[in-house]
Structure 1
Amino acid sequence: MSQVFEPLRQQLLDAASTFTDGPAALPEILAGLVDDVDHSLAEPLEIFPVCHHSPASALAMGRRLREKQPKVIYLELCEDLQPLLTELRNCRLPVALQAFASELEGFPATWGPLSVVAPVTEASAEYQAIAYALETPGVELVLVDRSADHVFQWAPDEPDGQDREEPEDDLHGDAVGVEIGDLRPRFAELEQHLLHHGQVRHWSEWWDQYVEQPLAGADHDTYRQVMTLVGSLFRRLTPAGTRRLESDEERERFMWTRIRSHLAQSGVEREDCLYVCGAFHAVSRVAEAGSQPGTPDLEITPRSGTTWLYGLIPSSHSAIEAQFGLAPGSVSIAAATWEKGLNRFGLKPFRLQGQKGTRRRAAKALPPAVAAEPATDRLTEYLAAPAAPGGLDDEELRGWCVDLVRLARRNGYLASTADAIAVYETSVLLASMRGRARPTPYDFQDAAVTCIEKDVVPGRRDVRRLCEILLGGDKVGQVGYEALPPLAKDVHDRLEPLGLDLQARKIRRALIDLVANPELAGCSRLLWRLQYLLPGHAVRTVMGSRRLGERSVQESWDLDLGRHQRTLIELGYEGVTAEQVLEQRLRRSVRDPKATAADALDAVEDSLRLLDSPRLSDELGIRAVELLAAERTVDDAPLVLARIRRLIAYFESPAHPGGSLPSWCEQFVKAGYAHYCTLLPMSFADEETGVRQVAAMLGFLFSMESLALSLGCERTQLEMSVQQSVPHGPAKTALFWAARHQLGDLAVGDLRHNCDELLANPLVLPSFPHYVSGFVHALEPVPRLAPFVVETLSKAFARLPDPVLLPWLPTLITTLKQDAPELVPVLTREAGRTFPGTLSALDTWTAPWNRMAQKSPAPRQLPVPAASTARRLLDAHPLTALGVAALLGRTSEWSAAPAVAAPDQEPAVIGPAKKLRETHPDTTDAMASLIGG
């Protein structure tokens, strides 16, 4: 241990003994801080401590690189991201280096997709080191942190960020962020203590006020010692045994192992190297730390079988703030501080040749390297000196106030010169109350919100957002064309005929007239595929459709690919072209363990709409047959019915080139007919199966019956299935009656008689609405019951008491809207044919079912029960009998008066009924059996 810091160590121990009574942890902590600084400075390989996206660290890094001119830079960054660094030349900062994996091997499937991002801004020490190394001949840059694969290998549980809700403007999504130079207290009580006594609201504000601003102009030794001291303080106050501390130590063992390995292989001198890491890692005391030969190495496990894909994605100030828990606007303030520091100290930053979006500065040759001087104690002087008056001077603050009022007026605020004065005075007042010599940007933000926003936000932007815009805005990076993956380049090339700037960060409207410009058909097909593949509003159709069998001749599109670069880039990780990715996704969707027959049919429809690949459609269809045969529930029966009907209609339409059903579709109908016949009795009796599902099953069986019979199915299977069914509940009972009617076992008159009996029974009235709901769902399998359903609804509205009717009406409307919206037009059309079209005609209108009841004679009381079936038929349906007689050539008036008969004799049959019965006994008996007489 050197004696450089012995006076400071003794001074801190004396202070600890003065303020504490007896042995305590404080002397040990204070002495340990100095020991950590001494230990870090004694390392032959220079350790440069940094803080994440700190302009003070970037300024100090720029100075040190020009002085030392190292030959090798070891950077705390995932080692497998090294090939991406040269692509930063083609981008506009901020961007993020990304490692992405969707097909996992060796990790739980619930973790996928895996993603690691490392954002890079110009106002960061790591970017200065990268630019220096890539632009200076003979300098080597080595990334020494864990690979993306090891990040997840060493995660004990599901990684942080995988369950985090994704903000709408978060360009990083749910990726795990690599915190380069992260420096924040790991002890919650310490952070709260610092925020309370510093009179600030957020850690970013405390750091800017008490560390960032004082170190902006500090020399290298002072900066290095202060940052090491802060890292030591946070490390020693971190609770021992926490997973976060263990993870940090594992990273340190990994990085020092990689550093010693490179030193041994390259033979470079340690004095010519620079190790850039977070201040928290600069004071590491693990056994593997240090560059001395013979230090134990960490046994690094091999990578898993997961295939990782690498690329650059756009980032933004707000995305960085959201990912690393920084205060809103803190990265924008850091960028403004960076520019202010460059102008104040006359520094020339390092930047990559051809870098987009950064201010061009004259190139400056590197001065001769300065030899390293012995370390001296700079901490004592720094800690004893009063704080330098940082913040905004009067002229700068006045300019901000005036510019903010001007910006606020453009955004709808009724701001004036008086508000500018109020913001100025309030900023000074807040700074004075918080013990600051000058207002900081955070004081200015609070004052602006208080004086201008008040309680109303007239537009999309609040005052805090306007303050960020004033500081430079939420700067969003962009990946250049040359750095894009092959798929993204292919998309840009194929959409070039549209003549739009797809890199622009605003919505572009594309108008496609396929009649006047048939050469744009390829662009149209690609846009439809991108709309399916990309989430959000990256590609959105305004006019046009691409349903089965439809092709628009004119289309209008809103393209916003510039602001959705990340989604397009990550799409490029899945394949080389959009068609390849779409085909892979469709195959993967039907092979998923949770896939259903309805999902497979949906995939078939998507393949027919978007891809010209009959082979793929047949493959997906065969998978749909397999899934349907394996299903043991009928939850998706409505979806299956709707989608197979739509597909059959397409295959039989002229739009389909083949003009006939494919073989898989015939197999699906045969399998579905047998499948639903088997499950029908159980579904009728099962309480958990809804009436809509049973109706969809019957709809499939009845609507596909003719096709199924032509393919070899037997109708007796359906008849036996219905006969074995025992319905549970009123709704399913009504559906069961409708099924029997469709099979010819129950006449409409019997249905009407059953409903009349239900309405006449006061005990059944409360449940009658459920019968009506069942009849409404019965329109799916038996659409010809529409007149009867309208009749039943009308009788229910007329006869049900208000305590039953009124609570049921909302339920009926909700049921129709959610479960059977396609049946509402059927009921509406039938009601339009039944009811009068004008209000005046309603007074004299009589319902058809009432007219039938009036014309039909009252039931005869026969003295003996020997009346024949034919006679009861003719008496109950005289109009039908006359019609049949007319068809048979027997026209006459009906006479229903029975002849006088003895009590033990059958009443005589007279008139045309007798002649009809005598002439055509077989016909009358057959009609009686069909109608149920």
Structure 2
Amino acid sequence: MTAPTRVGGFGALREQLTDAAAAFADGPDALADILTGLVDDVDRALGERLEIFPVCHHSPASALAMVRRLRQKPPRVIYLELCEDFQPVLAELRNCRLPVAVQAFASELDGFPAAWAPLSVIAPVTEASAEYQAIAYALETPGVELVLVDRSTDHVFQWSPRDETPPPDEPANEQTGEDAGEQAALHGDAVGVEIGDLRPRFAELEAHLLHHGKVRHWSEWWDSYVERPLVSADYDTYRQVMVLIGSLFRRLRPPGSERADTDEDRERYMWTRIRQHLAATGADPADCLYVCGAFHAASRVEQFGLDSPTPDFDITPRTATNWQYGLIPSSHSAIEAQFGLAAGSVSIAAANWNKAVSASGVTPYRLGGQRGATSRSRRGRGTPEAAPVEAATDRLSGFLAAPPAPDGLDEAELRSWCVDIVRLARRNGYLASTADAIAVFETSILLAGLRNRARPTPYDFADAAVTCIEKDVVPGRRDVRRLCEILLGGDRIGQVGYDALPPLARDVLHRLQPLGLDLEKRTVQRALLDLHGSPELAGCSDLLWMLRHLLPPGAVRPIMGEHRLGHRSIQESWDLALGRHQRALIELGYEGVTVEQVLEQRLRRAAHGPEATAVSALAAVEDAIRLLNSPRLVDELGTRAVELLAGERTVDDAPEVLRRIRRLLAHHQATAPRLPAWCEAFVTTGYAHYCTLLPTAFVAEETGVRQVGAMLGFLFSLESLALSLGCDRSQLELALAQSHPQAPPKVALLWAAHHQLGMLPLAELRARCLELLSNPLLLPAFPQYLSGFVHALEPVPGLAPFVVETMSTAFARLPDPVLLPWLPNLVTTLREHGPELVPLLVREAGRTFPGTLSALDSWVPPWSGTTPTAAPVRSDRPAGQVHLLLADHREPVDAVAALLGVEGDWQRSGDGATGSTAAALVQVHPGTAEAIAALLRLPRSPVRQEVR
């Protein structure tokens, strides 16, 4: 709804624009409406009884105009466009070093989709911003009230579409260099709220402005054509120009967009809050100041103005979501990345702010006790420095018609830039010289001239430096454009002071004081803990292990030492970077008062969440034992693990379940007199559960052989414990009898299970494998059977000798077209699914195969047979040695012969040894003697296990 046109001091300008529209557009139609509408918006905003101060976020011109306005006519009430629930946190800004961001955080949602969790809203604050100057003035001046009037953080998400996806943030800008990328992530996934989002909402308009302005991005256009002219402009001119720009961008935005509706609702919200406050306090509008973005200053909603007859906007109540508020560190690159600004633009704005303050002589406002304060800054007390502001007149006509103010080349400044960038480039590996400094100087002037600028801007200088120094490749870690950003102001990084931290963060810093480190620094610091010589450091060690579990990687990193079940290192070494990860530590403080409380909540959430599984519950149990040592919590989480296991309908997590429950059982058996009740319940429940699912898992295509092997491993390795707790072995036998797999790997697993239960002797198992090798139709599938036998080592580790025998036989007998394609698959399978099985195979192969190359020629595999050819027994061969051994110990031989029903007398053989019929058998079958000889020489042999 458009308000009626006011008859103000802009009549002449309106007529000029109407005539220009008629001349350029061949008729005063659409273009005339737009141009005159711009003037109407300016007239309407400046004619409002409540003075409106239009700003652009992180703009030195806006900040400088704000300082001048506050000192010329100090207001008693300031209405600020910022989330109204941020009000209690603003006082903590005095304990921080800017830039920082005010944050609202919620991890437990009520009224929002669960997929949005956690929710986070941030509002960055820099010194070179009008909002910070207003906040500092209001908080440091007695009798001044600061009122935040924008929608609450809860309404930010209430007004977002419910499409089960988090609300989108502003488009991020690509940062260059590793440092920039790291600092750009300081805000995390938070939704940004900025004061004065002044950027065209019409892509074609922005492209048109960039093209005709001869600039590469929007930040450079704004700096060249708005910031610099307005820095030295008077207050009335500043207001009129800013409202004009806001009105232009507002009228040329795409109609009917979702963001347009949100912007108008925000404006209705803010005017409603302003009216409510004025009605409640009775404040005089003449003593009030409304600070908002220039885009909102040109608002045309029905509720605009104090005299609007339209009823107030209907504000919906907040949800029951519990919001936590605090401050997090920010940086220039983080602000640029979140709000789609060009890299280095905020740093350049900060440099321009310092330069403008020095040139103008005004004293900016700063909160008392602000960290990083400069000597020129002092606390403002609202003392007027000039006469009150008079009624606004038409300043737009003169400003738009006047040529740019002469601003000659500052050779000293440009020369210092060129010398410093060459020095900085040489430090970073570039072969720069004095000639490059001269080239950058001349190229900067040339680029400024080509772009119709009286003097080179920092953007011109950066382009010239890239052209003259970077050449073709980037030899160093940082490129030249990043070096220019560092030179022109750097990526200033804020820090939240100790007093502004949440209780948890302060507690962490206090408990780590015995380490003797300044943990607020952003550098990585090394902490050495001798727990044997300094037992008092055990508390620091426990806290560091908990922080490693809760904080992102890199915040605390163990270099030496480990903390696993049943083991504690006596010496530890840590790399600590808590100052660099201050945001993560602060957000951890939103979840609880102490680290132990947060860890307990997260472990419960992992075990009781909608995505919880038996594996996640067992992992939570293990973490509770290692980190918290809370038997009560362990029993609770263990009972939950039993419930989850009983309710699972798949066996995808069977390998992980087996690995974790084995480790937990071993820990409890070594540290407690008896197993906890939940461990016994888990074993009995798992035994019945896997017996029930075993027949289906054997035939299901989606169930892998590794999962089936893990199920059998659970059943066989924990069978004795399960039977002692009341389980029935007939469950397992019945499950195997009902299993009829078709896939070769699962068939091999079933054979191995039958062998473990004594239903399939090793000789018959060997015969089946030889039958597979002798069948040409089954030969291509034999590698799959072998893969099944490899996975069978999990439930039946005693099959290791047989697996080595079968694998060696396969390597010897399989044809190359079958063997060669299978070998890479075998290697990848063992590496991915069976890393714990490889050492078992290697040890068994080491026992079976000869240890030297010379012994390989005469080595005979213990499982290979020989032809029944009689040969004289020689005492220098293994068979001869066995023959002599038998002759020296005749009683066992005679007993075996009598048992077999063989009668005979001992005779003397050709080499002088006595013998019998048994000795004759040795001569006829020397292979058996060779095997016995090998058995006598080795500590363990497959034959010995087979005999067992």
**TM-score if structure 2 supplies the norm length?**
0.90
In structure 2, what is the equivalent of residue 623 of structure 1? Answer: 640
SS of structure 2 residue aligned to 1:849: coil
2:87 aligned with 1:79: no
2:615 aligned with 1:610: no
After TM superposition, give the deviation of residue 459 of structure 1 in Å.
2.6
Q: Describe the superposition over 1:156-189 as per-residue Cα deviations: whole angstroms up to 9, x where unpaired.
A: 2444337999964311111111121110001111
After TM superposition, give the deviation of residue 836 of structure 1 in Å.
1.1
Write the letter of the residue equivalent to 1:96. Answer: A
Choose the corresponding residue for 1:417, options 430, 434, 441: 434
In structure 1, what is the equivalent of residue 254 of structure 2? Answer: 239
Choose the corresponding residue for 1:723, options 737, 744, 747: 737
In structure 2, what is the equivalent of residue 271 of structure 1? Answer: 286
Question: Are the equivalent residues in 1 in contact too, given 2:42–2:244 (CA < 8 A)?
Answer: yes
Question: Are the equivalent residues in 2 in contact too, given 1:96–1:312 (CA < 8 A)?
Answer: yes
Written as runs of structure 1 = structure 2, the 5 A alignment for 1:550-569 is 550-569=567-586
Write the letter of the residue equivalent to 1:730. Answer: P
CA distance in 1, matches of 2:892, 2:140: 102
CA distance in 2, matches of 1:895, 1:523: 74
Are the structure 2 counterparts of residues 642 and 853 from structure 1 closer, same or farther at C-alpha, using a change threshold of 3 Å?
farther
Question: Are the equivalent residues in 1 in contact too, given 2:104–2:323 (CA < 8 A)?
Answer: yes
Segments of 5+ residues of structure 2 without an aligned counterpart are 1-5, 175-180, 871-882, 905-915, 920-944
Are the structure 2 counterparts of residues 362 and 320 from structure 1 closer, same or farther at C-alpha, using a change threshold of 3 Å?
closer
Q: Describe the superposition over 1:543-567 as per-residue Cα deviations: whole angstroms up to 9, x where unpaired.
A: 0000100101000001100010000
2:700 aligned with 1:686: yes
After TM superposition, give the deviation of residue 462 of structure 1 in Å.
1.3
Q: Describe the superposition over 1:114-136 as per-residue Cα deviations: whole angstroms up to 9, x where unpaired.
A: 11000000000000000011111
Q: Describe the superposition over 1:598-653 as per-residue Cα deviations: whole angstroms up to 9, x where unpaired.
A: 11111101111101200000100000000000001000000000000001111111
After TM superposition, give the deviation of residue 358 of structure 1 in Å.
3.0
SS of structure 1 residue aligned to 2:326: strand
After TM superposition, give the deviation of residue 456 of structure 1 in Å.
2.6
CA distance in 2, matches of 1:543, 1:591: 34
2:155 aligned with 1:175: no
CA distance in 2, matches of 1:354, 1:773: 71
Question: Are the equivalent residues in 2 in contact too, given 1:260–1:293 (CA < 8 A)?
Answer: no
In structure 2, what is the equivalent of residue 783 of structure 1? Answer: 797
CA distance in 2, matches of 1:684, 1:898: 52
Are the structure 2 counterparts of residues 889 and 659 from structure 1 closer, same or farther at C-alpha, using a change threshold of 3 Å?
farther
In structure 2, what is the equivalent of residue 299 of structure 1? Answer: 314
CA distance in 2, matches of 1:459, 1:246: 48
Are the structure 2 counterparts of residues 521 and 163 from structure 1 closer, same or farther at C-alpha, using a change threshold of 3 Å?
farther
In structure 2, what is the equivalent of residue 648 of structure 1? Answer: 665
After TM superposition, give the deviation of residue 221 of structure 1 in Å.
0.5
After TM superposition, give the deviation of residue 238 of structure 1 in Å.
1.0
Are the structure 2 counterparts of residues 558 and 854 from structure 1 closer, same or farther at C-alpha, using a change threshold of 3 Å?
farther
CA distance in 2, matches of 1:410, 1:888: 88
In structure 1, what is the equivalent of residue 679 of structure 2? Answer: 665
Choose the corresponding residue for 1:98, options 100, 103, 106: 103
CA distance in 2, matches of 1:99, 1:322: 19
CA distance in 2, matches of 1:583, 1:853: 67
Are the structure 2 counterparts of residues 13 and 886 from structure 1 closer, same or farther at C-alpha, using a change threshold of 3 Å?
farther
Aligned Cα root-mean-square deviation (Å): 2.4
Are the structure 2 counterparts of residues 30 and 646 from structure 1 closer, same or farther at C-alpha, using a change threshold of 3 Å?
same
2:41 aligned with 1:31: no
Q: Describe the superposition over 1:257-286 as per-residue Cα deviations: whole angstroms up to 9, x where unpaired.
A: 000111111111111110000000001111
Are the structure 2 counterparts of residues 11 and 650 from structure 1 closer, same or farther at C-alpha, using a change threshold of 3 Å?
same
Question: Are the equivalent residues in 2 in contact too, given 1:389–1:438 (CA < 8 A)?
Answer: no
Choose the corresponding residue for 1:838, options 844, 847, 852: 852
SS of structure 1 residue aligned to 2:837: helix
Choose the corresponding residue for 1:528, options 531, 536, 545: 545
Are the structure 2 counterparts of residues 708 and 362 from structure 1 closer, same or farther at C-alpha, using a change threshold of 3 Å?
closer
After TM superposition, give the deviation of residue 20 of structure 1 in Å.
1.2
Are the structure 2 counterparts of residues 391 and 538 from structure 1 closer, same or farther at C-alpha, using a change threshold of 3 Å?
farther
In structure 1, what is the equivalent of residue 816 of structure 2? Answer: 802
2:242 aligned with 1:227: yes
2:451 aligned with 1:446: no
Write the letter of the residue equivalent to 2:105. Answer: F
After TM superposition, give the deviation of residue 210 of structure 1 in Å.
0.5
Write the letter of the residue equivalent to 2:343. Answer: P
CA distance in 1, matches of 2:171, 2:624: 33
Question: Are the equivalent residues in 2 in contact too, given 1:214–1:390 (CA < 8 A)?
Answer: no
CA distance in 1, matches of 2:698, 2:169: 43
2:655 aligned with 1:638: yes
In structure 1, what is the equivalent of residue 57 of structure 2? Answer: 52
2:226 aligned with 1:211: yes
After TM superposition, give the deviation of residue 50 of structure 1 in Å.
0.3
Written as runs of structure 1 = structure 2, the 5 A alignment for 1:104-503 is 104-157=109-162, 158-161=165-168, 168-169=182-183, 170-292=185-307, 294-361=309-376, 363=378, 366-367=383-384, 370-389=387-406, 393-503=410-520
Write the letter of the residue equivalent to 2:842. Answer: T
Question: Are the equivalent residues in 1 in contact too, given 2:83–2:149 (CA < 8 A)?
Answer: yes
Write the letter of the residue equivalent to 2:749. Answer: L
Question: Are the equivalent residues in 2 in contact too, given 1:894–1:912 (CA < 8 A)?
Answer: no
Q: Describe the superposition over 1:364-393 as per-residue Cα deviations: whole angstroms up to 9, x where unpaired.
A: 762266333122111011001112355962
SS of structure 1 residue aligned to 2:564: coil
Choose the corresponding residue for 2:74, options 62, 69, 72: 69
After TM superposition, give the deviation of residue 728 of structure 1 in Å.
2.3
CA distance in 2, matches of 1:517, 1:392: 65
Are the structure 2 counterparts of residues 652 and 339 from structure 1 closer, same or farther at C-alpha, using a change threshold of 3 Å?
same
After TM superposition, give the deviation of residue 766 of structure 1 in Å.
1.3
After TM superposition, give the deviation of residue 315 of structure 1 in Å.
0.4
SS of structure 2 residue aligned to 1:246: helix
After TM superposition, give the deviation of residue 735 of structure 1 in Å.
0.6
Write the letter of the residue equivalent to 1:138. Answer: G
SS of structure 1 residue aligned to 2:289: strand
After TM superposition, give the deviation of residue 841 of structure 1 in Å.
1.4
Q: Identity of counterpart residues, as a percentage?
A: 70
Question: Are the equivalent residues in 1 in contact too, given 2:170–2:338 (CA < 8 A)?
Answer: no
In structure 1, what is the equivalent of residue 912 of structure 2? Answer: none
In structure 2, what is the equivalent of residue 577 of structure 1? Answer: 594
Question: Are the equivalent residues in 1 in contact too, given 2:161–2:167 (CA < 8 A)?
Answer: no
In structure 1, what is the equivalent of residue 940 of structure 2? Answer: none
Question: Are the equivalent residues in 2 in contact too, given 1:315–1:476 (CA < 8 A)?
Answer: yes
Question: Are the equivalent residues in 1 in contact too, given 2:72–2:389 (CA < 8 A)?
Answer: no
Question: Are the equivalent residues in 2 in contact too, given 1:111–1:162 (CA < 8 A)?
Answer: no
Question: Are the equivalent residues in 2 in contact too, given 1:893–1:912 (CA < 8 A)?
Answer: no
Are the structure 2 counterparts of residues 164 and 794 from structure 1 closer, same or farther at C-alpha, using a change threshold of 3 Å?
farther
SS of structure 2 residue aligned to 1:701: helix
After TM superposition, give the deviation of residue 151 of structure 1 in Å.
0.8
SS of structure 1 residue aligned to 2:371: coil
Write the letter of the residue equivalent to 1:474. Answer: D
In structure 1, what is the equivalent of residue 564 of structure 2? Answer: 547
In structure 1, what is the equivalent of residue 840 of structure 2? Answer: 826
After TM superposition, give the deviation of residue 894 of structure 1 in Å.
11
Write the letter of the residue equivalent to 1:411. Answer: N
2:709 aligned with 1:695: yes
CA distance in 1, matches of 2:658, 2:541: 30
Q: Describe the superposition over 1:701-730 as per-residue Cα deviations: whole angstroms up to 9, x where unpaired.
A: 000000000000111111111111001211
In structure 2, what is the equivalent of residue 902 of structure 1? Answer: none
In structure 1, what is the equivalent of residue 828 of structure 2? Answer: 814
Are the structure 2 counterparts of residues 533 and 474 from structure 1 closer, same or farther at C-alpha, using a change threshold of 3 Å?
same
After TM superposition, give the deviation of residue 22 of structure 1 in Å.
3.1
CA distance in 2, matches of 1:700, 1:885: 48
In terms of mean alpha carbon deviation, does 405-414 or 216-225 score higher?
Answer: 405-414
CA distance in 1, matches of 2:116, 2:291: 31
Question: Are the equivalent residues in 1 in contact too, given 2:893–2:918 (CA < 8 A)?
Answer: no
The number of residue pairs the alignment matches comes to 879
In structure 2, what is the equivalent of residue 869 of structure 1? Answer: none
